[in-house]
Amino acid sequence: MTIPQLTDYTEASLDKAFSELNIEADRALNSVTADNETLRLEWLGRKQGRLKTISDLWLKAAPPEAKRLIGPRFNALKEKIEVELERRNSSLPGIRQANIHAGNIVESQIDVTLPGSAQRIGAEHPLIKTMAEIVGVFQRMGYSVGLGPEVENDFNNFESLNFPPNHPARDTQDTLVLAGQEQKPLRERLLMRTHTSPVQIRTMLEQAPPLRIVIPGKVHRNEAADATHSPVFHQVEGLCVDTNITFSDLKGTLDHAMKAFFGSAVKTRFFPSFFPFTEPSADVQISCIFCGGKGCRKCKHSGWIELLGCGMVDPAVFEAVNARRIELGREPVYDTSRISGFAFGMGVDRIAMMKYGISDIGLLYSGDMRFLEQFA
């Protein structure tokens, strides 16, 4: 397109001239075969570009009063071309692929020696994978999944779970408390949850029995990091509340869950223990999955591995929930003379370390791709 010399500087004449330029620019920019660099040089080139010619012939040569009319039209055309070229460059792979399908790019235009842009397939982190497998076992048993915040208040994390103020069991939790909470009542002070049990309380405050929930999540404690301890780790807890729930239901549930997760040959056994929120309480051991119960270094030659804690929900927990529901204007539906329940909890990190033969818990949080790629 030849750029003519302007002789008429009226708005109508200028509109017509720039309209023709816009049509020509649209035609060039919409061409699927046009090369972006060629278009840029043709229109925006500093020496022989069309906009350079238009600037010389129309803008610089125009009388002063006409420059005010030509300037905005010239700038709009230039901006339009620059924006469109930028858009084409950003979507070049898609345009190129469309051109290939349309037969507009011949084989010689594709450099097959360039390295490919292969998309690497990701994989679940071993912790997430282990947690999902454990949760899946209980979901198939009819449990729903409960989730809650990692920043909790003291009531949900301790008080409602039968941890009264100054109770020695609070010391064993090594709690990370948020700063600036001293002026609040103790039950309202915020902290990083030390277990996922507060989700049990939150669920009971919102729902009436029967309940069957499994609760996966991250927890925090002020512990020194070593090969088997981390200030951040993961738990899976469970809660079942209904009428006529007994310790036999608890044993049967966990025995089935361990067999479903570790294999049908695994055996379980229960030992008396103590937890403030369950009574009676028990520690659960499984027969060693490495030696089949014969005794090896991993089970310290005992044939058993301690895996989780459990027990029947202490009536004091139900009473605390009822009192809180009344405070919130809700009906106290957890009648200890009519209902009962059991709870359990296990550390996901330890199970993942057992399953995958990991000796240092820090590797799970290191972000080292050389380590994580083993599980892809």
**Same domain, yes or no, for 144 and 283?**
yes
Which amino acid, one-letter code, is at 60? Answer: K
**Same domain, yes or no, for 363 and 257?**
yes
Within-domain flag for 33: yes
**Same domain, yes or no, for 160 and 104?**
no
Residue 267's pLDDT is 94
CA distances from 108 to 51, 105, 113, 114, 376 (A): 32, 8, 12, 13, 38
Within-domain flag for 228: yes
**Same domain, yes or no, for 103 and 148?**
no
Within-domain flag for 177: yes
Spatial neighbors of 340 by CB under 8 A, at least 6 apart, are: 241, 242, 243, 244, 245, 246, 312, 313
Last residue of a domain, one of 42, 74, 109: 109
Give the Cα separation of 134 and 256 in Å (integer).
Answer: 12
Spatial neighbors of 38 by CB under 8 A, at least 6 apart, are: none
Within-domain flag for 120: no
Within-domain flag for 85: yes
pLDDT in tens, 163-199: 888 877 677 668 888 998 888 998 899 999 999 999 9
Residue 100's pLDDT is 47
Within-domain flag for 3: no
Last residue of a domain, one of 109, 144, 178: 109
Within-domain flag for 359: yes
**Same domain, yes or no, for 215 and 333?**
yes
φ/ψ region of 184 (left if φ > 0, alpha if ψ in -120 to 50, else beta) reads beta
Are the C-beta atoms of 157 and 191 separated by less than 8 Å?
yes
Domain tally, the chain: 2
Alpha-helical regions (H) of 207-347: 247-262, 315-327
**Same domain, yes or no, for 191 and 234?**
yes
Q: Residue 346: name the closest of 354, 357, 334, 338 by CA.
A: 354
Residue 33's pLDDT is 66
**Same domain, yes or no, for 224 and 329?**
yes
Output the domain CATH number for residue 258.
3.30.930.10
CA distances from 141 to 59, 134, 137, 210, 252 (A): 79, 11, 7, 15, 12
Last residue of a domain, one of 109, 138, 162: 109
**Same domain, yes or no, for 302 and 224?**
yes
pLDDT in tens, 6-22: 778 888 888 888 888 88
Are the C-beta atoms of 141 and 257 separated by less than 8 Å?
yes
**Same domain, yes or no, for 137 and 85?**
no
**Same domain, yes or no, for 322 and 356?**
yes
Are the C-beta atoms of 273 and 286 separated by less than 8 Å?
no
Give the Cα separation of 29 and 89 in Å (integer).
Answer: 12
Within-domain flag for 121: no
**Same domain, yes or no, for 183 and 81?**
no
Q: For residue 62, give its domain range.
A: 11-109
Are β-strands 304-313 and 278-287 bridged in parallel, bridged antiparallel, or unpaired?
A: antiparallel
Cis amide prior to 280 (ω within 30 degrees): yes
pLDDT tens by residue, the chain, 376 residues = 577 777 788 888 888 888 888 888 888 878 766 677 887 888 788 877 888 888 888 888 788 888 888 888 888 888 888 888 888 777 655 555 555 455 554 444 677 788 877 777 778 899 999 999 999 999 999 999 999 999 999 999 999 999 888 877 677 668 888 998 888 998 899 999 999 999 999 999 999 999 999 999 999 998 888 888 899 999 999 999 999 999 999 999 999 999 999 999 999 999 999 999 999 999 999 999 988 888 888 888 899 999 999 999 999 999 999 999 999 999 999 999 999 999 999 999 999 998 888 989 999 999 888 888 888 7
